[in-house]
Structure 1
Amino acid sequence: MYSFEHLFPSPSPTAGGSDGHQESAWSPEIMKVLESPWPLASEGEMLLMVYRDMFAHLFPFVIIPRDMSSVDLRAQRPFVWKAVMLSASVFDATRQSKLGEELLADIGKASIVDGTRSLDMLQAVELLIGWWYFALKSPQVTNLLFLARSMCVNLSAMSYGSQGEDPTYGPLDHLRAYAGTYYLNTIVFTTNKKPDVFMNTTQLDYCSKVIQATMEYPSDEYLIQLIKVQQLSQNISTAMVGNGMAPAMSLPLVMVIQTFQDELDTFRASLPPHLAHSPTLLCHIAVAETLLKDLAISDQRCHPEHMPVSDRLQLLWSCIKSLNEFFEIRFAKPEVEGPQFLIIMASDMAYTLITGIKLLTLQLPGWDLHSIIQELDMVTIFDRQINHVNDVINQRRSGLLSPDRCATEDPLERLVRLMRTAQGLVSMHLEGGSALAMGDGMGDVLGGTESDVAWRDVIGVAPWAVDESHGLMDLAA
């Protein structure tokens, strides 16, 4: 049963001396416990159960044995315990904010001041990024991703315990942690088109082979498919980024695109029946297809000398098709019934929204704006996403420490404001009231008008984690 003991404890008298006086139980130590946002034993068990039932299946890279209690988890893997409590508190905005801030501070002290490198902390960092992504600033996300990577340099020599102990880990837990680090990095950096910071896949291939050969848990099959689709995305992003990082193509661009599309189709067809309709996997496929086709937005890369206009138009319409598939999957079920996706997939949502806006602002013979809007109504899509997030915000206000009473703003509220700004600017552009123009990823945000600042806010800060220096948007006032 849910217990309110951690909020309203009953002070039990402590026996005093022979004079019969009793010492108050409201000691500084007790008050410190009461002020802590971390749950006590009974609530910890409940939150661990919530995590197992609602969250664990979405991130198969961290395994918590079914027979491990919250008390044991806290004693043996304190960082992971805190990350689990944070994740399971997703529908209590104020409390999750407090837990996230404390865990972030604990990780910073342990990693920088104490020099801790442990599997416990690595798993906690992954859970923190995955489930608290929307509250992190873009530099914080980058720092945490590279902290996780630094702990993967020599996993075999890593201390398995945070307190110098050796709690029981499974034989493949460190391999899953490495794969989890790769997965999170690719989600952020492929859509940001930063091939210079992609992780090398040599060690990943070894980890995947061992996990696939062993299949210690049923969730390992899902893990393998997540890695495979992200490897495809990384390969596509590397080949299509067009900044000199990728090797020169020996085949015509259209043939390269078709080759990658065939690989994605093969991957989709090879999914086992119980994963063939996985929302996360289908969204990853749609994003990979969009990454493959969005180079058609670039006038520089798709000049008629390099690609016939008819082929370019076909790619652009294919890009719209992939975007629509992504949005339909994302909006299929309300998040208030339970998380449908890992929170960090907001990065993919940002990328698809920005790509959709680019398609609306592209000027090309044969690219008719009216026809495009009929297929890709970005104003309506923004409206659906805003309503989607607002429902989650309202649900998060149902926590015991309501934001209304604690005067704490939910980080998601800022996201809603940013999306409303973007929606308004897009609507103005479609109505002919503004000269909104999109860059192809090669320029910087232009000018210093109020609208420029608004776009900068939309793309340059959390929870998008989209690096402003990429110049994803050019706004010509």
Structure 2
Amino acid sequence: MEGRSVSDRTESLTADSLPSSPSSGLSSAYASTLSSVPNTSAIVEQSALSTFKQLIPPDSREASELLAFFCSEMAPLFPFIRLPWGTTPRELLLEKPLLYMVIMGIAYQSDTQRQQVFAKLFREEISRSILICGESSLGLFQALLVYSAWNHVHMQLKARLSNLLPLAMVMVTDLELHREPHTRSKTSPGALREVGRVPGAPNSRTLEERRAFLGVFWLSSVTKTCAKEIDGMRFNRYADQCCHIVQEAMEYPTDSYLVHLVRIQQIADTIATTVYSDNLMGSSTLNGSVATPMSISSLEREVQAMGDKISEMQHLVIPPACEFPDLLMYRHARLADKEGREKAMLMISYHTVQAYLYKIALNDQIFSSLSATTPGCPWTSNTDVPPSNTTPTITPIVRRADLLVSCLFAIKSLADHFLALTDMVIFSLPYPTWLQLGHCILILTRVMEIRHSTWDLGYVSQLLDFREVLNRLARRLDKVISRGREAKPARHLPVIFEAVVERLGEIGKLIAEGLHAVGSGNNRNNGAHNDIGNGGRDGNEGWAGAGAVGDGAVICGDETGLVFDDETTQAMCDFFGVEV
């Protein structure tokens, strides 16, 4: 078995697992039933875990290389799951078999078809463990996190991140990872089995447990921010405590990176509660409408402070694979600047949160009600620094345009940081990073649909060449895919990326056509600067293309020249996890 390739072992197991012909003593009806359910027979004979161990034996060189690759190139990008230094594949298999399975699968970038086989086996085993056997353990929980973090690897199996996260959040409760051990109060919920139970000795969570808990928060927060309105985990006092403990311990160099990722999403959590809460978004009263814009300036300062902090970081390092110097696959690998990689990843998250805040300007309801009741508001803009003894008065319509421009610049900056990532990093990016990129692209398409007398799209497009931004992204992904095919060993992104490259180019073309239509035939932008701040009008009558934007939702509309066909919209939304 050791000398055979994964491909040979897979084909052999597939042939061996086919059910034999039913014996002549069986009824024809029963024989027909058996022949119609071959997978059931295979599962009875051999578990998914047993099959997986034959495909990738833990003592094989292949398993060692895959584990080394995960630890050095993939785990640092998702620092919530770290393995102790020197862990061998066999040790991992014995202690955490589900985690062994998922790591081997997502790290197998040389063959996407084999990845799908591994993913199917993992799904069978984790379903059996959780749903049939009712198992619950830290290793199983970590395996579910890793599987969710690289959701795009097995997206062909129709696995949605929004379906996986609830399982992880339930397991947090089952394992009581959301609090310190033995901290139940006299008013805590419980049933008969709690009667007479003696409280355990005071203890504290391990760093491994705290990282995993923060990982669920990060995954659910990014998903809620960028993809779908789910009931994600809220940042609370215990999460804050975990951040402090992990930061102070610094067991791994990536722990500082972990904490900053969580802190960025903590701000996103605050934005969601303050700006996108159901009560405020659905309010028709003046107080409800005013509360949201009045809080934007404060949130802007909080977001900007985080950006300044990231820019000033000097000691953020994701370590290279120095612990595996004997492996050929790493000896000749192009090692990126680890500090630069980490900063770029943090800046992608930071600019995503910026865009998440600024997209509130797409909401007609808030700004229309404000314009009708308040001719001017004392809001300060990030781009305007008033004298110390004055407070500028900014009309809602001007403030809205300012937010839209800030949103576009945030998206442009995010794209620049993404383009700065090396090929090796792009191959191993976790799915939430792709969600962040996709969400911002969809916000861009929505902003580009706006037509209004005070929104000069032609002028804005001179500041930012949106089509070129998308074309650069398309060219970069296309080049990464080509280089991966030529690499030794080959490395592949999931198949869906080839369609994404094509769609990015098409969207860029549609944007260019929309801009051309504005410049040649659309006169709604004429006199834009003359109408800004006009006290006789609220400035919102002519806003087209914008609308009520909920938490995490970006609408691809069809108001103007930017009309997306169903195939384009579906392909983009399926990959980036956005429901339209």
CA deviation vs aligned residue, 1:68-104 (integer Å, no higher than 9, x gap): 1112111211111122212322353222232223223
Q: Compared with structure 1, are the counterparts of its residues 109 and 411 closer, same or farther at alpha carbon in structure 2 (3 Å cutoff)? A: farther
Which of the numbers 281, 286, 294 marks the counterpart of 2:351?
A: 286
Contact 1:193 1:241 in 2 (8 A): no
Does 1:347 find its partner at 2:427? no
Does 1:441 find its partner at 2:549? yes
Contact 2:151 2:160 in 1 (8 A): no
Q: Which stretch shifts more, 179-188 or 261-270? A: 261-270
CA deviation vs aligned residue, 1:345-398 (integer Å, no higher than 9, x gap): 111111110111112111122211212222333322222222233234335546
Q: Residue in 2 aligned with 1:269?
A: 308
Q: Counterparts of 2:418 and 2:275 in 1: how far apart (Å)?
A: 25
Q: How many corresponding residue pairs?
A: 431
What are the within-5 Å matches in structure 2 for residues 221-300 of structure 1?
221-241=256-276, 243-244=278-279, 253-271=292-310, 272-275=313-316, 278-300=343-365
Does 1:465 find its partner at 2:573? no
Q: Counterparts of 2:555 and 2:485 in 1: how far apart (Å)?
A: 38
Q: Compared with structure 1, are the counterparts of its residues 212 and 251 closer, same or farther at alpha carbon in structure 2 (3 Å cutoff)? A: farther
Q: Residue in 2 aligned with 1:187?
A: 222
AA matched with 1:327:
A
AA matched with 1:383:
N
Which of the numbers 432, 455, 478 marks the counterpart of 1:390?
A: 478
Q: Counterparts of 1:335 and 1:266 in 2: how far apart (Å)?
A: 30
Q: Counterparts of 2:499 and 2:54 in 1: how far apart (Å)?
A: 26
Does 1:99 find its partner at 2:212? no
Q: Compared with structure 1, are the counterparts of its residues 369 and 421 closer, same or farther at alpha carbon in structure 2 (3 Å cutoff)? A: same
Q: Counterparts of 1:418 and 1:391 in 2: how far apart (Å)?
A: 15
Q: Residue in 2 aligned with 1:430?
A: 515
Q: Counterparts of 2:52 and 2:272 in 1: how far apart (Å)?
A: 49
Q: Compared with structure 1, are the counterparts of its residues 380 and 92 closer, same or farther at alpha carbon in structure 2 (3 Å cutoff)? A: farther
Alpha-carbon offset, residue 413 of structure 1: 2.7
Contact 1:236 1:260 in 2 (8 A): yes
Q: Residue in 1 aligned with 2:334?
A: none
AA matched with 1:190:
T
Please list every run of 5 or more consecutive structure 1 residues that lacks an aligned counterpart in the other structure. 10-27, 159-169, 469-477
Q: Residue in 2 aligned with 1:410?
A: 495
For residue 517 of structure 2, give the secondary structure of its aligned residue in structure 1: coil
Alpha-carbon offset, residue 289 of structure 1: 1.1
Q: Which stretch shifts more, 108-117 or 65-74? A: 108-117
Contact 2:71 2:82 in 1 (8 A): no
Does 1:302 find its partner at 2:371? no
Q: Counterparts of 1:424 and 1:454 in 2: how far apart (Å)?
A: 16
TM-score, normalisation: structure 1: 0.78
Q: Counterparts of 2:126 and 2:241 in 1: how far apart (Å)?
A: 28
Q: Residue in 2 aligned with 1:136?
A: 155
TM-score, normalisation: structure 2: 0.65
Q: Compared with structure 1, are the counterparts of its residues 193 and 364 closer, same or farther at alpha carbon in structure 2 (3 Å cutoff)? A: farther
Which of the numbers 187, 207, 214 marks the counterpart of 2:242?
A: 207
Contact 1:129 1:144 in 2 (8 A): yes
Q: Counterparts of 1:249 and 1:413 in 2: how far apart (Å)?
A: 45
Q: Counterparts of 1:403 and 1:55 in 2: how far apart (Å)?
A: 13
AA matched with 1:273:
Q
Which of the numbers 252, 273, 287 marks the counterpart of 1:217?
A: 252
Alpha-carbon offset, residue 236 of structure 1: 1.1
Please list every run of 5 or more consecutive structure 2 residues that lacks an aligned counterpart in the other structure. 10-44, 179-204, 317-338, 375-394, 523-543
AA matched with 1:266:
A
Backbone CA RMSD of aligned residues: 3.8
Q: Compared with structure 1, are the counterparts of its residues 105 and 420 closer, same or farther at alpha carbon in structure 2 (3 Å cutoff)? A: farther
Q: Counterparts of 1:320 and 1:37 in 2: how far apart (Å)?
A: 48
Q: Compared with structure 1, are the counterparts of its residues 322 and 243 closer, same or farther at alpha carbon in structure 2 (3 Å cutoff)? A: same
Q: Counterparts of 2:110 and 2:74 in 1: how far apart (Å)?
A: 12
Q: Counterparts of 1:439 and 1:255 in 2: how far apart (Å)?
A: 20
Q: Compared with structure 1, are the counterparts of its residues 255 and 34 closer, same or farther at alpha carbon in structure 2 (3 Å cutoff)? A: closer
Alpha-carbon offset, residue 249 of structure 1: 6.2
AA matched with 2:163:
N
Q: Which stretch shifts more, 343-352 or 234-243? A: 234-243
Alpha-carbon offset, residue 7 of structure 1: 5.3
Q: Residue in 1 aligned with 2:136?
A: 117
Alpha-carbon offset, residue 444 of structure 1: 7.6
Alpha-carbon offset, residue 445 of structure 1: 7.2
Q: Counterparts of 1:334 and 1:237 in 2: how far apart (Å)?
A: 32
For residue 63 of structure 1, give the secondary structure of its aligned residue in structure 2: coil
Does 1:145 find its partner at 2:165? yes
Contact 2:485 2:491 in 1 (8 A): yes
